[in-house]
Chain A
Amino acid sequence: MGILLNEQSRVLVQGITGREGSFHARACKDYGTQLVAGVTPGRGGQLFDDVVPVFDSVEEAVDATQANVSLIFVPPPFAPDAIAESVDAGIPLIACITEGIPVHDMVGLYRYVQANPVRLIGPNCPGMINPGAHCKVGIMPGNIHMPGRVGVVSRSGTLTYEAVGQLTGQGIGQSSCVGIGGDPIIGSSFIDILRLYNDDPDTDLVVFIGEIGGNMEQQAAEFIGSAEFTKPVCSLIVGATAPSGKRMGHAGAIITGESATAESKIRSLERAGARIIPTPADIGETVAAALVESGLGA
C-alpha cells in the first residue's frame, strides 16, 4: 500500500510546459504514474506529448480529469499562487518542487494549507514515490527504487536517492519515499510523515534522514520515542561537520543554537530508541541489520 500515493492517484502537473516541468512530467509518466493533466495559464487546449491535456487553470483540469494530486514546477515568484490555486480547487495532495520561494510568502500560505483539507509536501523538495503502485510524483530517478516494506523520509533530494540506492543495493525494497523539503517553512513535518508510516500496514521499518538546523528532528525523535509510534527506525543526521552560522545550501540547514547541531539531534534520536546510522555510507547495512534484528528479514 505505502503512503500518500496509490493506484488511484491521478496526477496533474502545474508548470507542465516549462523546462523542468516537461522533463519531469515525462519521467513520472514513463515510470507508470497516471499523468492526467497539465496546467499552464494561456496554454489551455494544447496537448502535452500528444496525449496529456493542458488546461488554463487547476479548476478546469480537476473538472475534466478528476486529478487528485498536484505536482508543482512553477518558478518561485508564482509558486505560492500555484499552491493556493490547487488548494482552492480541492486537490487533497500537493507536492511543490520549486526551490527559492521567499519564506515570508510561506507564512500565510502555511496557515491557508493548514485550514484546508489538503496535505502539502515541500516546497523545495524532491516529492514522493510509491514503487509498489508505480506512482512517482517528484523528481527522483525512478529506476533506483524497488517495491518493498521500508519507508524513507528525508528533507532532501539526492541524499534520499543515496539512501534508496543503498537500500535497493541490499535488496531492501521501499513502501514509499518522501522528501519533505529543505526550507524553514514546509507543508508537512517529519512527524506528519512518520504518523502516516506508523499507520501503514505495509511499512515495517522507517529510515529517517535529518539535517542540522532547526529542531524538527528533535520533535520527530519525541514522537518516535512515544508509545504511539510502534515501528523500528534507522536514522541518519547529516551536517555534523558543518560550521555554525553558515547556511549549507538548504535555507533550513543553518546551525543557530545548540539544539540545531547534529550531535544534539543524534542524542535525541538515540534516547527515542532509533538505531543511529553512523555515516552516510552505512545506510543500507544498518537497515539490513535492523531488519534482521527485528525479525523482519532483509
Chain B
Amino acid sequence: MKLHEYQAKAIFARYGIAVPDGSLAHTADEAATATANFGGRAAVKAQVHAGGRGLAGGVKVVGSPDEAGSFAGGLLGSRLVTNQTDAGGVPVESVLVEALADIGSEMYVAVTMDRDHRGPVVIASAGGGTSIEQLAAENPDAIITEPVDPVLELMPYQCRRMATRLGLSGSALRDAAGVLATLYRIFVEHDCSLVEVNPLIVTSDGAIMALDAKMDVEDDALFRHADLQQLRDRNQEDALEAEAADGDIAYVSLDGSVGCLVNGAGLAMATLDVANAAGAAPANFLDVGGGATDEKVAKAVGIILSDPKVDRVLVNVFGGILRCDVAARGITMAYEEHQAQQPLIVRMLGTNLEEGKSILAGSGLNVTFADTLTEVTAALSATQPGA
C-alpha cells in the first residue's frame, strides 16, 4: 500500500525529520491562501500514487497566490499521466502547498528490502533529484549501499560512513547520519517495503531536510497497523484491482482482450505467456487462490467481465483444493449476473472434473473445452475475433 507524500511527511515529522512547512489543499482557493501564508511563493505538488510527477507537470514552484490558484485549479479534478502510470493516469484530488526550501545540495536516500541480502538495505547517492533507476543504469558506482544486519540493526557508524561518502562533513554529517537512522526506524516500525527521500537536501545554512517522501507499506503486514489502514486512498488504485484485493484475489489489469482466470500465481503467469504465444493478448493477470469458494470464483469472473476490453474468457484451473465443480458454478453465476455472452475457453484439471464440465456444458454458455495447454493455444486461435 502506497502512502501519499503528505501522509509520509507527517510520519517523518513525528519522528523528528525536518520537512518543509506545508498545507494540503483540495481547492484552488485553498492553494492560493496557503501560498499567501508562505509569503507568496511556494511549491505546489500533486498528491498522487505515482512517481515522475515533476516531468508530467504535477509539480510547480509558484511566485504568487494567483499562480498557485490557477496551477492547482488546473490540476485538481484532472488525471495526471506520468511515466509510471498507465495511459489513464491517476486522479489529482489534493495538492500539497509547501514553503520553498533553500537548497544547498541534493541527495537520494532510501531504505528497502533486498532479496539477495534477505534483509533491509539503505541506499544513498549524492545525485538527488533524478530517479535512482536512471542513476543505477548510468552510474551504478555512485550508489552507496549499506546492508543491515537484522540482529545489530543499522549501526550509527554505517550511517556516518554513508554521510561521509555523500560528501558531508561537520554538523551536516552528524545530522544526515541521524536522519538515515531515523528513516530505517520508520521503515521497520511501519513494515515498509520502501521508504524513499528524493531529494534529501542540505539547506544553504547546513540543515538536513526531506523535500519529498515516499512510503510503501507491505500489504501482508497491514493487519497489525490499524492506523496505516486508515491512510489507504482507494481512488489512486485501479478500481478493478482494488475490488479484487478486497476479495483476496490477485488481479493486475493488462492491455489485451482475453480475460484470464487462473488459480496459482505461477500458473497464472504461465497462462499469460501461453495466450501471448498464441497471439491472443491477455486483459489481465488473475490468481483466484487455492481454497476459493464458488462465490469467490464468481467475484473473480465478475471482475474480469466488468472490463470492457474483454472479448473472451480463458479459465485455467488446476483443481486441488479448488474443486472443478465449484469453479464451474462460480463461472455460471457470474455470467448469469452480468448477462455476459463472451465465449469461454475452459481448461480444468483435478478434483470433480466431470461434474465441473457438465455444469458448464449444460449452462447454455459458449464453452470450448481444452485438456492441455496445447489445446488452449488452439482454442485461442479458433476463437480469435474475426477468425
Contact = CB atoms under 8 A, between A and B. Distances in A.
B350 A159 contact: no
Interface in B294-330: 318-321
Interface stretch (B21-29, B100-108, B110-118, B177-185): B110-118
Contacts of B262: 158
Contact of A154 (B266, B320, B374): B266
B373 A108 contact: no
Interface of A is mostly: loop
B136 interface: yes
A247 B321 CA distance: 24
B318 A103 contact: no
Contacts of A157: 264, 266-267, 290
B362 interface: no
A245 B84 contact: yes
A106 B84 CA distance: 29
A107 interface: yes
Contact of B265 (A105, A111, A249): A249
A26 interface: no
Contact of B267 (A103, A159, A242): A159
Contacts of A141: 318-320, 350-351
Contacts of A169: 372
Given A157-B290, A251-B220, A103 B377 contact: no
Interface stretch (A41-49, A196-204, A210-218): A210-218
B231 interface: no
A158 B113 contact: no
Contacts of A185: 113, 115, 118-119
Interface string A100-119: 11111111101100000000
Given A246-B252, A281-B274, A139 B372 contact: no
B263 interface: yes
Given A242-B285, A248-B285, A279-B274, A211 B266 contact: yes
A252 B188 contact: no
Contacts of B266: 154-160, 182, 209, 211, 238, 250
Interface residues of A, number: 61
B223 A257 contact: no
B14 interface: no
A279 B277 contact: yes
Nearest to A279: B277
A106 B150 CA distance: 10
B326 to A, nearest CB: 14
B233 interface: no
A257 B252 contact: no
Nearest to B268: A249
A134 to B, nearest CB: 18
Contacts of B270: 159, 162, 236, 238, 280
Contact of B264 (A19, A158, A281): A158
B214 to A, nearest CB: 14
Interface string B211-253: 0000000101101100000000000000000000000001010
Given A162-B270, A242-B285, A243-B254, A184 B113 contact: yes
A76 interface: yes
A85 B298 CA distance: 39
A243 B290 CA distance: 24
Given A108-B150, A158-B264, A243-B252, A281 B320 contact: no
Contact of A108 (B151, B276, B351): B151
A247 B252 CA distance: 8
A165 interface: yes
B70 interface: no
A215 B118 CA distance: 12
B218 to A, nearest CB: 6
Given A141-B351, A249-B285, A107 B119 contact: yes
B4 to A, nearest CB: 19
Interface in B166-180: none
Q: Name the residue among A20, A104, A184 with the largest chain B CB count within 10 angstroms.
A: A104
A24 B376 CA distance: 30
B193 interface: yes
B113 A103 contact: yes
A253 interface: yes
A253 B287 CA distance: 13
A74 to B, nearest CB: 14
Given A158-B266, A248-B265, 4 more contacts: A103-B221, A110-B118, A157-B264, A159-B270
29 contacts: A23-B321, A103-B113, A104-B191, A105-B221, A107-B113, A107-B150, A110-B118, A139-B320, A141-B320, A141-B351, A157-B267, A158-B262, A161-B267, A162-B270, A162-B318, A162-B373, A165-B318, A182-B266, A184-B113, A212-B269, A216-B115, A239-B273, A242-B272, A243-B252, A246-B252, A247-B252, A249-B285, A279-B273, A281-B372
Q: Identify the 3 closest CB pairs spanning chains A and B, nearest first.
A: A156-B266, A249-B265, A158-B264
